[in-house]
Structure 1
Amino acid sequence: MTIKIGDRFVGPEHAPVIIAEMSGNHNRSLDRALSIVDAAADAGAHVLKLQTYTPDTITLNVRGGNFEISDSGSPWAGKNLHDLYAEAYTPWEWHAPIMARARDRGMQCFSSPFDETAVDFLVGLDVPAFKIASFENNHLPLIRRAAATGKPLIISTGMATIAELDEAVRTARAAGCKDLILLKCTSTYPATPQNSNILTIPHMSALFDCQVGLSDHTMGVGVAVAAVAHGATVVEKHFTLRRADGGIDSAFSLEPEEMNSLVLETERAWQALGAVAYGPTEAEQKSLVFRRSLYVAREIHAGEVFTTENIRIVRPGQGLPPRDFAAVLGRKANRDLSIGTPMSWELIG
């Protein structure tokens, strides 16, 4: 089940891959974009992800009606779609220098194409994978074009029903996708832990026979850690230098210290999974001595009966186990015993 994206292995046998999503947090500055790459690398992120579109490849330049965001709970409430994407998009001529900086800093870098022309453009940059955003998971022509490249394909599943996901997965595989990762995603900005439903992750993995990760819009790292505990092999989070700087996605983006925490804590969660195991681990062997066992609690003469006064269940653990306490009581010592002697059957007449 292991998938290779560039030089990075993705799968249950490997630590979760952490994707830092730049999105529009460059605030229309290439210098800031490159600083975000550096900060993501310093924080330990494994992948830097972009979004590849222009206002005209994603919407129409129309005012009013459905082209205005009316949801008062949205961070983009009141904005016109074309204006929003004009503010948020990453100029295509920036992609090459951003990707070069990511490679120089030891990270993979790929992007979310939002139409077929973006796929073709990214193929020309030799990206190691494609990511299909949640709002595009019903865009079957886009999925078909990305899958046909033969590169690994990551699809966010926000809002999609099982039937829609089945259609997307079948489309991808029919077009040639061999390496598929789905990302559990809640398409609210920010999302809450209560509507994250990460128990879907193992179910989705079994249903579609593929790896599943998390595209996470919640604040903090708790949901991501829980997702890894349920089998997530990839975690994607929006990333910025400082939320206080503002920007399209800043309100639900991690800052560098938080990204570093995400990298560390998700790897710890993965390391903690281990296997089903009972009994002392190899590391615990030296601690067995601190369990309780039976010891002589006062001087005992040969022939004297063992009682609750002269033997006790105490630490350390070198004597008979506590379960033998009742079997020893009423028996006799076959020799003189000093206080602190660990009990054994050889001492009993």
Structure 2
Amino acid sequence: MTVTIGTRTLGDAHPTYVIAEIGLNHNGSVEIAKELIDVAAAAGADAVKFQKRTPEISTPEHMRDVPRETPWGTMTYLEYRYRVEFGRDEYLEIGAHAAERGVDWFASPWDEPSVAFLEDLDVVAHKVASASLTDDGLLAALRETGKPIILSTGMSTMEQIDRAVDLLGTENLVLLHATSTYPMPAEEANLRMIPTLKDRFAGVPVGYSGHERGLAISFAAVALGAAAVERHITLDRGMWGSDHAASIEPTELAALVAGIRDIEPALGDGIKRVFPGELAPMAKLRRVGAGAAV
């Protein structure tokens, strides 16, 4: 089974779909968002992803009045959420820039009005954040769109994942194994969940959403069969904001994409053969021919 997002196809025997997660790392600035799109395009990523919220709906009640120190002064957490949220005009500008740079763009809606907002902009797909995996109303609204859905599975039990997949259906679904620790220590990566999910949901493309420092774990995910890899990106990990520390910088994103493109042909097909490049060394070095007693 394959899933098509924009002009790219996800699934076995297709290139790994690389998603550069901008999220809120634009810090409310369209110019920073466009710079990050440029970074993703220059690195060869396939897509950029944002987050879309209706703050008065998606902000937990107990968090709304919590003070937050920001570059714009002290404000409540709810005020901060409004401050970094893009509206229609900003997303039209961002979407046009992504199209110019040849990368897909979509977002994680955190509430049902945000689904309608993104549908009005005709995004190519929707992403479900791990925190939203148990939001039945949101999942139902997303299924109604008929668009491809990418579902992250962090902070979730297998029973919760089963229920979410039942609600969404397996057609046009991509699962991402994830561990929602920021940043994530290696011992929490549990990458063997990638083949576990592939076995459990046969035919559904399974990828990896990483929050670790460095690139090695993401490379290992590709070697284990990840159909997509998502990583947070930033212009500088030292920037203000909650996700920058668990993000990769422009040179790392370029190295990530280049490494993935090297790994893909190296995986082969699992059928043992003698390759053309081995013939000369075999003639030079093998003393006993095929079929001889060992």
TM-score where L is the length of structure 2: 0.90
- Cα–Cα, structure 1 residues 217 and 84, in superposed 2: closer, same or farther, change >3 Å? farther
Equivalence for 1:119: 115
Q: Secondary structure at the match of 1:245?
A: coil
Which of 173, 181, 200 aligns to 2:193? It is 200
CA distance in 2, matches of 1:258, 1:241: 11
Matches within 5 A, 1:39-58: 39-58=39-58
Contact 1:61/1:82 (<8 A) preserved: no
Which of 158, 163, 168 aligns to 2:154? It is 158
The unaligned stretches of length 5 or more in structure 2 are 68-74
Q: For each residue in 1:223-242, what CA deviation from the matched residue of structure 2 results, as whole angstroms up to 9, or x when unmatched?
A: 11111111110111001111
Tell which structure's C-alpha radius of gyration is larger.
1
For the pair 1:179 / 2:175, whether they are aligned, the reply is no
Contact 2:54/2:111 (<8 A) preserved: no
Equivalence for 1:141: 137
Equivalence for 1:313: none
* Aligned residues: CA RMSD: 2.5
| 206-215 vs 128-137, greater mean Cα deviation | 206-215
Distance apart, 1:269 and its partner CA: 2.0
Distance apart, 1:14 and its partner CA: 1.2
Q: Secondary structure at the match of 1:155?
A: strand
- Cα–Cα, structure 1 residues 88 and 219, in superposed 2: closer, same or farther, change >3 Å? farther
Equivalence for 2:8: 8
For the pair 1:242 / 2:271, whether they are aligned, the reply is no
Distance apart, 1:284 and its partner CA: 2.3
Q: Secondary structure at the match of 2:34?
A: helix
| 18-27 vs 282-291, greater mean Cα deviation | 282-291
Distance apart, 1:270 and its partner CA: 2.1
Distance apart, 1:62 and its partner CA: 5.3
Distance apart, 1:95 and its partner CA: 1.3
- Cα–Cα, structure 1 residues 252 and 87, in superposed 2: closer, same or farther, change >3 Å? farther
For the pair 1:229 / 2:223, whether they are aligned, the reply is yes
The unaligned stretches of length 5 or more in structure 1 are 70-78, 294-319, 327-349
Q: For each residue in 1:42-82, what CA deviation from the matched residue of structure 2 results, as whole angstroms up to 9, or x when unmatched?
A: 11111011111132131156568xx759xxxxxxxxx9642
CA distance in 2, matches of 1:189, 1:88: 20
CA distance in 1, matches of 2:86, 2:219: 30
Paired letter, 2:35: S
CA distance in 1, matches of 2:153, 2:61: 27
Q: Secondary structure at the match of 2:122?
A: coil
CA distance in 2, matches of 1:154, 1:63: 27
Q: For each residue in 1:240-263, what CA deviation from the matched residue of structure 2 results, as whole angstroms up to 9, or x when unmatched?
A: 111123333110111111001111
Distance apart, 1:86 and its partner CA: 3.6
Whose relative contact order is higher, 1 or 2, with alpha carbons under 8 Å and at least 6 apart?
Answer: 2
CA distance in 1, matches of 2:293, 2:125: 64
Equivalence for 1:26: 26
TM-score where L is the length of structure 1: 0.76
Matches within 5 A, 1:310-329: 321=289
- Cα–Cα, structure 1 residues 61 and 167, in superposed 2: closer, same or farther, change >3 Å? closer
CA distance in 2, matches of 1:117, 1:63: 20
- Cα–Cα, structure 1 residues 152 and 324, in superposed 2: closer, same or farther, change >3 Å? closer
Contact 1:153/1:181 (<8 A) preserved: yes
CA distance in 2, matches of 1:179, 1:21: 20
